[in-house]
A and B are shown apart, each in its own frame.
Chain A
């Protein structure tokens, strides 16, 4: 599975959009980009995933660049409950390999 690079931490004001970047320059054509988050002491929560096209669901939007070497997770209106560690994972095999993620702190 391709390696991902994420900033270790980010801040976001409540009500504003949170844009979390992820670099995956060695991604292969059949590898998906997955995003999960882990709120303290809870199990990882699936957010969204995509292959080539941008994706949107009730939680977030995923923007994948045309060359697929990077992506951005967008939480359109961040709330305090969105404070968590966010993991960007490139999945080319059966399992998910977690990195260190981005610790997002949403402040009032």
Chain B
């Protein structure tokens, strides 16, 4: 059973460009979470999605960031008009259901560098 798959693993963008990060959850998992980790800082929750629904986006920056989890295909975290401060590791996680007793598994992350 493959784990949570993220791609690209490393992405370099120039300031003002768009970054798209993809996440394929584990097989049978319909809940996806995105986290951001700035250099030398902790993991910060960004957004929690089910198929076709955003459940909790309390950690998402109000501008330039969006996330989706379509009925078919991977979840996408989109960052428009990137700035240097967006340089970070972005981790995706998945679980079979959103209840507190269900384990959440993380991917290996996507490293975004804005130059």
**Interface residues, chain A, CB within 8 Å of chain B?**
30-32, 36, 38, 41-46, 49, 51, 91-101
- Asked whether, in the complex, the Cβ of B100 is within 8 Å of the Cβ of A43, the reply is no
Give Cα A93–Cα B95 distance, bound, in whole angstroms. 13
**Interface residues, chain B, CB within 8 Å of chain A?**
4, 31, 33, 35, 42-45, 48, 55-56, 89, 91, 93, 98-101, 103-109
Counted as pairs of residues, one from A and one from B, with CB atoms less than 8 Å apart, the total is 54
Of all chain A residues, the one with the shortest Cβ separation from B31 is A94
- Asked whether, in the complex, the Cβ of A46 is within 8 Å of the Cβ of B91, the reply is no
Of all chain B residues, the one with the shortest Cβ separation from A97 is B45
Q: Helix, strand, loop or mixed for chain B's interface? A: strand
Contact of A44 among B31, B48, B55, B91 (CB under 8 A): B91
- Asked whether, in the complex, the Cβ of A43 is within 8 Å of the Cβ of B48, the reply is no
Given A31-B100, A32-B100: 12 more A-B contacts, CB < 8 Å: A43-B4, A43-B91, A51-B101, A93-B100, A94-B31, A94-B98, A95-B56, A96-B33, A96-B93, A96-B104, A99-B42, A101-B42
Q: Helix, strand, loop or mixed for chain A's interface? A: loop
- Asked whether, in the complex, the Cβ of A95 is within 8 Å of the Cβ of B48, the reply is yes
